[in-house]
Amino acid sequence: MTKLITIILLVCTISVQAQTENLDKKLLAKYSKKELTSLKENPTEYNFAKYCVNNAFYIAPSSKEKIAYNAEKYGSIKIKNISNVNFFELNINLLKNKNQVFVINNSSKVLVVKSEEQIIREIKK
């Protein structure tokens, strides 16, 4: 029984370590290794950055008509693989209290980037 518990704990530890390493790799799209090490010293900022990797945005359907009608409201962006987006590879700065909407090139979908305030509220939940 002790061996089983030890094996389960080992597997859980390895899994958590792998997830952290994967997130850290994604953070390297914005931060250098030195900056990332420094960022980890501030848990609030580090957790915010980790959350943003996959949660600072969402992709929503839209119609070409709606996009054409409101063209001045939207930016445009090219995304290679919309099923695997790293926010920091998009090079978009968060706005404090306003969401941003971008038309994804060659699609009828939009990328909605959440405001900094909205992300902070989500983290606090």
Give the predicted TM-score (pTM) of the model.
0.76
Are 99 and 64 within 8 A, CB to CB?
no
Helix axes 33-40, 43-55, angle to 10 degrees: 120
Q: pLDDT value at position 31?
A: 92
How many other β-carbons are positioned within 10 Å of the β-carbon of residue 37? 11
**Residue 77 and residue 80: Cα distance in Å, rounded?**
10
Mean pLDDT computed over 13-42 = 75
pLDDT 10s digits, 40-77:
999 999 999 999 999 999 999 988 777 777 767 788 89
**Higher pLDDT residue, 107 or 41?**
41
